[in-house]
């Protein structure tokens, strides 16, 4: 029997999935921001108890633990990373501080970007006094123009050490073409401060971290990696030690935001951002394939945020157009998952500057102290407090009764902070909180579809996260989507998604070149340059995956190219039809792939008479997952819902104009094929399904949950006017 454990650390809860052969165990524990390993251990302990095992017994039989973490996010929020020294080429010392034109808006919420007068560029992670320019220079072909002075490097390093440097970032011009000078700088630092000394410090070379040609983003990625490295390494090593002491003897695997995983020792800190939501998106793609469902809108409403992404034609193919980590544009290959501050713990407030406008989020209450109803010290009203007041969440059955909810504190928080300032009743205020958060989520989803040119009517919503089933009918109604799918593992779905991920590494390298110039009838001819680059990346992949414990023959490859048309400023990610170039026909195949991709995703006609340029190559090396989540069909059972009916309670339904007696069902007693018409509440041990009056809830042949709209399809202008390549 194979046993795996998947952990996803969210802002409010830490989720756990344990697979023991065909058995799946689920657990949730509040995230402990002061020490994430505490919530990590408690979640595993809960799962172990469900299997009638001790934590030690469960870990001893476990073959692999996979972990998506918020460690890096926390380090950036608290600005507690290492003090760094940056060595760069003389004359470009201010690259990090000048930034890009849009740097002031990177990472800001839409309402913050609109307030241009208040917006500020992010505080740099390296202070100006810790940046030193070296008199050296390579040209764009990698030829040495000004040699590096070893004595100058030694003097610069000593100065930075005396100013408190705890690590070094080296980013020299054109190092991605020729790393000779960067390697020499590291050699000098290691000579001065060898590993045998306690004063030895980590050194990060930009050509190793981000071998791409954009100077600003290469600097940013190298600095972020170095800034987060020490704190994340210490915490993950400490977590690994704790696991080993408890009986787990294998390396800990970390989920990556590119979609995949690797050992801690083969993971960069920047690879972990948004890794949990990415796992949920890829889990959606996998389960969609079981149903033959190719177009999915994956939505994850947790305690802190609302994350969403698109699966199109069976693949999570979108990469973030301008990927941002915290407040920095990074130019990394990150699968696009967008987030807004709309979760169960999002705080509601009245903005008096804008005429007593009710706002929900982006601030959240977190796991501690949490919403007011958690009775752990939180005093501000949240979305969860509103759901309690409106009757959707059962105070006596939150997390299956493991966590007691104080409804009186929820009412008091809403009364003091929302109802009184708005001169409304508590119930009216709670309904307004829910309406605002649902509108925020639905509006963001609709805007994303409009920008991508999709028709939402051909999509299915996958709803998960602890609060997703509570709100999914409402935000889906805004999109005119007719079907929602959810799952027994909905509240821990990102952990579930990580259990089907491949072991994967991604390697990038810039090769600026003109592939085709129709004006001169010339095509790219330096096949050796292209093929040599791919072979070099392949060798790195074999090295890294062999270190993961897999033979070369287990490795599979996929190649993508960053390409652009002429002098257009933005590039497109294109799936390469060939792994190597051996003829002009291969080059023409690349150009044709670019034209097809351009027409599809830019919603316009490519310009075949224009120059097509290659920017970078991206090689993905992966070992396909061996533990899968195949869905066995269940035997038909009684469709009589009477046995599942727990009783009634008053719940608020806007369509009914207020509170009404509402049937409450126990989801564990609903048989395959049974259906529950809305309005109704279907309670699970870890979430609640709020079935609004225009929806029907059902259990399908796989034991999953399908909700279908019973209202007539809308044909409003926003949907009807869409430009869609699905039509």
d(CA 28, CA 59): 17
Segment 444-501, tens digit of pLDDT: 898 888 777 788 888 999 999 999 999 999 999 988 899 999 999 898 999 988 888 8
Which band of pLDDT confidence, cut at 50, 70 and 90, is reported for residue 724? very low
Identify the pLDDT of residue 400.
84
Which band of pLDDT confidence, cut at 50, 70 and 90, is reported for residue 596? confident
- Residue 601 belongs to some domain of the structure: yes
Alpha helices by DSSP H, listed for 478-582, are 493-498, 527-547
d(CA 653, CA 434): 11
Tokens 């695997």 map to which residue? 253
Which band of pLDDT confidence, cut at 50, 70 and 90, is reported for residue 603? low
First to last CA, the chain: 47
Identify the pLDDT of residue 727.
35
Q: What share of the chain in percent tops pLDDT 90? A: 53
d(CA 497, CA 398): 24
Whether 223 and 105 map to the same domain: the answer is yes
Higher pLDDT, 437 or 449: 437
- Residue 242 belongs to some domain of the structure: no
Identify the pLDDT of residue 680.
97
Domain extent at residue 521: 506-623
Segment 134-159, tens digit of pLDDT: 999 999 989 999 999 999 999 999 99
| Mean pLDDT within 243-255 | 88
Which band of pLDDT confidence, cut at 50, 70 and 90, is reported for residue 689? very high
d(CA 222, CA 613): 26
- Residue 366 belongs to some domain of the structure: no
Which band of pLDDT confidence, cut at 50, 70 and 90, is reported for residue 608? low
Higher pLDDT, 320 or 477: 477
Q: In this structure, what token pair is assigned to residue 720?
A: 């009807």
Segment 274-315, tens digit of pLDDT: 888 899 999 999 899 888 899 999 999 988 889 999 998 888
Whether 89 and 33 map to the same domain: the answer is no
Which band of pLDDT confidence, cut at 50, 70 and 90, is reported for residue 329? confident
Whether 61 and 114 map to the same domain: the answer is no
- Residue 617 belongs to some domain of the structure: yes
- Residue 587 belongs to some domain of the structure: yes
Segment 656-669, tens digit of pLDDT: 889 999 999 999 99
| Mean pLDDT within 118-132 | 89
Domain end marker among 607, 623, 639: 623
d(CA 266, CA 554): 18
**How many distinct structural domains can be found in the chain?**
3
- Residue 420 belongs to some domain of the structure: no
Segment 250-270, tens digit of pLDDT: 888 899 988 888 888 888 888
Lowest mean pLDDT among 320-324, 335-339, 612-616, 657-661: 320-324
Tell me: pLDDT of 1 over 80. no
Tell me: pLDDT of 604 over 80. no
Higher pLDDT, 75 or 90: 90
| Mean pLDDT within 683-695 | 94
Identify the pLDDT of residue 686.
87
Tell me: pLDDT of 646 over 80. yes
Domain end marker among 46, 68, 90: 68
Identify the pLDDT of residue 726.
40
Tell me: pLDDT of 720 over 50. no
Segment 407-424, tens digit of pLDDT: 999 999 999 999 999 999
Higher pLDDT, 725 or 355: 355
Segment 499-522, tens digit of pLDDT: 888 888 889 999 988 998 877 888
- Residue 2 belongs to some domain of the structure: yes
d(CA 506, CA 523): 28
Domain end marker among 563, 596, 623: 623
| Mean pLDDT within 531-536 | 95
Whether 55 and 199 map to the same domain: the answer is no
| Mean pLDDT within 183-201 | 88
Identify the pLDDT of residue 110.
64
Whether 603 and 510 map to the same domain: the answer is yes
Identify the pLDDT of residue 454.
81
Question: How much is the mean pLDDT over the chain?
Answer: 88
| Mean pLDDT within 205-223 | 92
Tell me: pLDDT of 679 over 60. yes
- Residue 360 belongs to some domain of the structure: no
Lowest mean pLDDT among 238-252, 450-464, 592-606: 592-606
CATH of residue 181 = 3.40.50
CATH of residue 15 = 3.30.420.40
Tell me: pLDDT of 439 over 80. yes
Report CA dihedral (603, 604, 606, 611) to the nearest 10 degrees: -90
CA triplet 267, 269, 273: central angle to 5 degrees? 105
Whether 553 and 533 map to the same domain: the answer is yes
Whether 196 and 219 map to the same domain: the answer is yes
Which band of pLDDT confidence, cut at 50, 70 and 90, is reported for residue 716? low
Whether 164 and 183 map to the same domain: the answer is yes
Which band of pLDDT confidence, cut at 50, 70 and 90, is reported for residue 21? confident
Long-range contacts of 517-525 (CB under 8 A, 24+ apart): 517/611, 518/608, 518/609, 518/610, 518/611, 519/609, 519/611, 523/584, 523/587, 523/588, 524/581, 524/587, 524/614
Whether 153 and 31 map to the same domain: the answer is no
d(CA 137, CA 144): 6
Tell me: pLDDT of 719 over 60. no
d(CA 543, CA 252): 19
Long-range contacts of 567-574 (CB under 8 A, 24+ apart): 570/321, 571/615, 572/597, 572/598, 572/601, 572/602, 573/319, 573/333, 573/597, 573/618
Residues shown for the chain: 727
Q: What is the pTM of this model?
A: 0.85
Whether 35 and 108 map to the same domain: the answer is no
Identify the pLDDT of residue 717.
41
Identify the pLDDT of residue 722.
44
Which band of pLDDT confidence, cut at 50, 70 and 90, is reported for residue 89? very high
Q: Strands 460-464 and 296-301: what pairing?
A: parallel
Lowest mean pLDDT among 40-54, 161-175, 353-367, 711-725: 711-725
Whether 90 and 60 map to the same domain: the answer is no
Tell me: pLDDT of 317 over 80. no
Whether 135 and 64 map to the same domain: the answer is no
Tell me: pLDDT of 725 over 50. no
Which band of pLDDT confidence, cut at 50, 70 and 90, is reported for residue 109? low
């Amino acid at each position: 029997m194979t046993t795996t454990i998947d952990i996803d650390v969210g802002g409010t809860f830490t989720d756990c999935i344990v697979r023991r052969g065909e058995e799946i165990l689920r657990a949730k524990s509040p995230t402990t921001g002061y020490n994430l390993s505490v919530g990590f251990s408690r979640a595993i302990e809960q799962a172990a108890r469900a299997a009638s095992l001790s934590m030690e017994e469960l870990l001893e039989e476990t073959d692999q633990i996979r972990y998506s973490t918020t460690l890096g996010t926390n380090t950036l929020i608290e600005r507690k990373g290492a003090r760094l020294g940056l060595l760069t080429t003389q004359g470009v010392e201010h690259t990090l501080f000048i930034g890009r034109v849009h740097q002031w808006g990177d990472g800001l919420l839409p309402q913050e970007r609109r307030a241009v007068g208040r917006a500020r560029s992010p505080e740099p992670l390296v202070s100006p006094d810790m940046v030193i320019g070296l008199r050296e220079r390579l040209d764009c072909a990698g030829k040495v123009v000004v040699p590096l002075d070893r004595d100058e490097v030694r003097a610069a390093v000593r100065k930075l050490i005396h100013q408190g440097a705890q690590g070094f970032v080296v980013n020299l011009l054109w190092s991605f073409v020729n790393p000779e000078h960067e390697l020499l700088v590291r050699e000098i630092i290691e000579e001065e401060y060898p590993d045998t000394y306690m004063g030895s410090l980590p050194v990060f070379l930009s050509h190793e971290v981000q071998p791409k040609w954009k100077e600003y983003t290469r600097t940013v990625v190298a600095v972020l990696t170095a800034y987060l490295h020490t704190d994340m390494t210490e915490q993950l090593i400490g977590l690994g030690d704790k696991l080993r002491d408890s009986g787990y003897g294998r390396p800990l695997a970390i989920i990556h935001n590119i979609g995949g995983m690797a050992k801690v020792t083969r993971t960069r800190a920047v690879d972990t951002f948004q890794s949990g939501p990415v796992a949920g998106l890829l889990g959606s793609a996998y389960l969609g394939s079981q149903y033959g469902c190719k177009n999915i809108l994956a939505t994850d409403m947790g305690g802190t945020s609302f994350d969403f992404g698109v699966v199109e034609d069976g693949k999570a193919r979108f990469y973030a157009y301008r990927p941002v980590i915290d407040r920095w544009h990074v130019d990394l290959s990150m699968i696009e998952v967008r987030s807004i501050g709309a979760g169960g713990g999002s705080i509601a407030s009245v903005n008096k500057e804008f005429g007593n406008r009710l706002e929900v989020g982006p601030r959240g209450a977190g796991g501690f102290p949490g919403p007011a109803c958690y009775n752990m010290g939180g005093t501000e009203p949240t979305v969860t407090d509103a759901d309690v007041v409106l009757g959707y969440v059962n105070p006596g059955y939150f997390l299956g009764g493991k966590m007691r909810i104080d409804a009186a504190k929820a009412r008091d928080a809403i009364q003091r902070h929302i109802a009184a300032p708005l001169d409304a009743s508590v119930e009216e205020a709670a309904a307004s909180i829910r309406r605002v958060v649902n509108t925020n989520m639905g509006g963001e989803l609709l805007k994303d579809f409009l920008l991508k040119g999709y028709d939402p009517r051909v999509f299915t919503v996958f709803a998960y996260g602890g609060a997703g089933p509570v709100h999914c009918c409402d935000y889906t109604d805004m999109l005119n989507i007719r079907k929602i799918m959810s799952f027994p593992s909905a509240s821990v779905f990102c952990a579930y998604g990580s259990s089907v991920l491949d072991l994967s590494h991604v390697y990038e390298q810039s090769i600026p070149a003109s592939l085709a110039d129709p004006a001169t009838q010339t095509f790219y001819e330096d096949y050796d340059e292209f093929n040599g680059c791919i072979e070099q990346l392949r060798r790195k992949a074999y090295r890294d995956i062999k270190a993961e414990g897999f033979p070369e023959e287990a490795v599979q490859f996929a190649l993508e190219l960053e390409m652009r048309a002429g002098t257009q400023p933005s590039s497109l990610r294109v799936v390469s039809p060939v792994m190597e170039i051996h003829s002009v026909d291969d080059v023409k195949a690349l150009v044709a792939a670019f034209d097809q991709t351009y027409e599809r995703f830019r919603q316009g006609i490519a310009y075949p008479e224009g120059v097509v340029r290659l920017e970078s190559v991206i090689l993905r090396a992966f070992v396909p997952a061996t533990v899968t989540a195949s869905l066995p069909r269940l035997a038909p059972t009684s469709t009589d819902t009477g046995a599942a009916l727990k009783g009634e309670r008053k719940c608020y339904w806007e369509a009914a104009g207020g509170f009404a007696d509402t049937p409450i069902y126990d989801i564990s007693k609903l048989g395959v094929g049974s259906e529950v018409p809305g309005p109704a509440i279907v309670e699970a041990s870890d979430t609640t399904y709020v079935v609004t009056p225009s929806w029907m809830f059902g259990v399908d042949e796989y034991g999953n949950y399908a909700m279908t709209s019973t209202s007539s399809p809308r044909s409003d202008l926003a949907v009807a006017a869409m430009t869609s390549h699905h039509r």
